[in-house]
């Protein structure tokens, strides 16, 4: 294994960040000026205002439960909750992630003392730069309906939407196509996408955000350096090489469980091969690790 700590070669520099990158997306969408029309374009509705946009909202129900870190979590004037997530790497567990996120959002409301009868209407929206279902649609919308009679809705007021930036069907508005095309390829084609690109450029020139991004990158590097040190300590009994490898793998598993970095990004940080990270991911999902 290459044990050098230079893990930045495959990681985007701050100047290279695009709207679809997790950090950039979170920064821009915390501004209602962009978040509100973004939601209006996706849902085809008008929203008077959104209240207190929260980015990277962390929901912890119990000490033993897996926490959820949400990219964007907002509420409108009708008390409808919207959770928006950007997904740039293929994840076969995405459908179950939407289920888990939905459940955690509801439990979070109940934790605040709400009766279950007063659970709010909610949308879990994943914006994917790939076609999860391979049908060519730009948008896949899911609600709970009766299998025996599709006209009967369960009425639980939950909706899950999975967007595909690479859709080929004529199934959404022109504004929606332009927005998805901008997310996918940075193509500016109307007033709103021009505003988003201007916002991206503004963030890139902001020293505070640059520092925050560098701090985040530094923290990830520190985590892996800590793993190396743990590996060296283990290596006293197990052998240096084996100890280092085990320490790195343990940290990779922690990053996979956090579920915010792609396999490729984790590979770049850890210097494990993409194939090895995928192997660890598969073992983790199967409950082996």
Positions of the chain with pLDDT under 50: 1-9, 53, 61-65, 67, 236, 239-240
Backbone angles phi, psi at 120, to 5 degrees: -85, 155
Pairing of strands 122-128, 158-164: parallel
* pLDDT attached to residue 130: 95
Q: Report yes or no on whether pTM surpasses 0.85.
A: no
Tens-place pLDDT, residues 167-215? 999 999 999 999 999 999 999 999 999 999 999 999 999 999 998 888 8
* pLDDT attached to residue 225: 64
Asked if 47 contacts 17 with a C-beta cutoff of 8 angstroms, the reply is no
Nearest to 85 by CA among 101, 72, 95: 72
* pLDDT attached to residue 247: 67
Rg of the Cα trace of the chain?
A: 21
Cα 288 from Cα 281, distance rounded (Å):
10
- Give the DSSP per-residue string, 47-62: -S-EEEEEEEEEE--S
* pLDDT attached to residue 234: 55
106 token code pair: 């509801």
DSSP assignment, residue 119? P
* pLDDT attached to residue 63: 43
Strand order in the sheet with 122-128: 50-59, 68-76, 81-87, 122-128, 158-164, 139-142
Cα 126 from Cα 91, distance rounded (Å):
11
Nearest to 20 by CA among 186, 214, 252: 186
Asked if 12 contacts 281 with a C-beta cutoff of 8 angstroms, the reply is no
* pLDDT attached to residue 243: 53
Backbone angles phi, psi at 51, to 5 degrees: -105, 130
Asked if 82 contacts 65 with a C-beta cutoff of 8 angstroms, the reply is no
Nearest to 202 by CA among 3, 56, 24: 24
Cα 281 from Cα 266, distance rounded (Å):
11
Q: Distance of alpha carbon 17 from its chain centroid, rounded?
A: 15
C-beta neighbour count of 143 within 10 angstroms: 13
């Amino acid at each position: 294994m290459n044990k050098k700590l230079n893990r930045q070669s495959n990681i985007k520099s701050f100047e290279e960040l695009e709207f679809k990158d997790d950090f950039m997306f979170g920064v821009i969408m915390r501004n209602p000026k962009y978040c509100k029309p973004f939601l209006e374009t996706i849902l085809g509705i008008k929203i008077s205002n959104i209240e207190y946009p929260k980015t990277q909202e962390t929901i912890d129900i119990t000490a033993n439960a897996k926490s959820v870190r949400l990219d964007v979590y907002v509420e409108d004037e009708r008390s409808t909750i919207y959770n928006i997530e950007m997904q740039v790497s293929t994840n076969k567990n995405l459908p179950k992630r939407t289920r888990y996120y939905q459940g955690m959002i509801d439990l979070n409301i109940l934790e605040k003392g709400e009766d279950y009868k007063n659970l709010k209407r909610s949308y879990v929206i994943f914006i994917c730069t790939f076609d999860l279902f391979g049908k060519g649609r730009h948008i896949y919308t899911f609600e709970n309906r009766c299998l025996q009679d599709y006209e009967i809705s369960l009425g639980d007021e939950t909706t899950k939407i999975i967007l595909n930036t690479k859709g080929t069907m004529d199934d959404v508005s022109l504004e929606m196509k332009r927005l998805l095309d901008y997310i996918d390829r940075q193509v500016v084609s109307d007033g709103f996408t021009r505003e988003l690109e201007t916002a991206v450029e503004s963030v890139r020139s902001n020293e505070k955000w640059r520092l925050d991004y560098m701090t985040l990158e530094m923290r990830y590097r520190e985590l892996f350096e800590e793993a190396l040190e743990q590996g060296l300590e283990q290596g006293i009994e197990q052998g240096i090489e084996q100890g280092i490898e085990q320490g790195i793998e343990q940290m990779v598993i922690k990053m996979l469980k956090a579920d915010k970095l792609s396999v490729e990004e984790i590979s770049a940080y850890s210097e494990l091969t993409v194939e090895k990270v995928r192997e660890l991911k598969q073992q983790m999902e199967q409950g082996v690790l």
